[in-house]
Structure 1
Amino acid sequence: MRSTADRIRQAISFELIGILIVTPLFAWAFDHPMGDMGVLVVLGATAATAWNYLFNLGFDHALHRLRGDVRKTLPLRVVHAMLFEATLLMLLLPLFAWWLDVSLVAALLMEVSFAAFYMVYAFVFTWGYDTLFPPRQAGRVSA
């Protein structure tokens, strides 16, 4: 299992790199000012950082309980990324609609685009992170 400090490092580095990539890309793609999109991305990243920590903690505890090991196979990585993005989409949809002053349907289309990007990004980032910083073997479960 990962330590709290490691989980925090993982979540913050994931979000910072994501912000640097997604802000200019989606400001251009959705034809919104960079400042408006930047604020939205930072608000979303803040919510996602908190959710990332909680989601990954719960996911690892579930893996440890069900399998006795927190290492993820390729299919588990796909499930992990999809579940994370689906739950985050539900949490952020009202924020997108309100901040960009668009309908829920328009916000949903934007969110689906963000989710698709972040699902691929989460898969690649987490795999790379796990390679650079392998999780400890199952044993004592830490918070």
Structure 2
Amino acid sequence: MQGKSRKVVQAILYETIAVLCVAPALSWAFDAGMAHSTVLSLILSALALAWNMFYNWAFEHWEARQAQRQRTLWRRFLHALGFEGGLVLILLPVVAGWLQISLWQALLTNLALFAFFFVYAFVFQWAFDRVFDVPDSAREPA
């Protein structure tokens, strides 16, 4: 699977699993109702989905121009770090506002989510590439 369909399937599958993990965790951590936490998870997911589409487009654009295009462990690490680091900054004001907590508390919350999602993004992308194969951008030119 390549191109836009690959990106859409990857992003939707990634975010669906994320909501199923994050909503109960937020509900438990903030003693909030499951409905309140699920709505927040869906908002975070929608923002993450938009970031995912942009970030992966930009990453693959960069990747396709590299002399060595194979997805090494280091490249996967950089991919996950860039994605999750950018997402922490994007979601900071949303988490603070929705949970009515300080920016500091929101940052700590985002860092906890980052720790989970950093590992999740790495493992998910590896598994996704194993199931659907790597994108053309990660293939050596013929």
Above 0.5 in TM-score? yes
Question: 2:86 matched to which residue of 1?
Answer: 87
The alpha-carbon deviation at position 91 of structure 1 amounts to 0.6
Identity of aligned residues (%): 40
Question: 2:127 matched to which residue of 1?
Answer: 128
The alpha-carbon deviation at position 57 of structure 1 amounts to 1.0
> Secondary structure in 2 aligned to 1:44?
helix
The amino acid that maps onto 1:122 is A
Higher relative contact order (CA 8 A, sep 6+): 1
TM-score by length of 2: 0.90
Report if the CA contact (8 A) 1:64-1:138 is conserved.
no
Please list every run of 5 or more consecutive structure 2 residues that lacks an aligned counterpart in the other structure.
none
Q: Deviations over 1:32-68 (max 9, x none)?
A: 2222211111001001011101101111111111236
**Cα RMSD (Å):** 1.6
Structure 1 residues 18-33: aligned runs within 5 Å: 18-33=18-33
Question: 1:110 matched to which residue of 2?
Answer: 109
TM-score by length of 1: 0.89
The amino acid that maps onto 1:109 is L
> Secondary structure in 2 aligned to 1:35?
helix
Report if the CA contact (8 A) 1:81-1:123 is conserved.
yes
Please list every run of 5 or more consecutive structure 1 residues that lacks an aligned counterpart in the other structure.
none
The amino acid that maps onto 1:126 is Q
Distance 1:19 1:79 in 2: 24
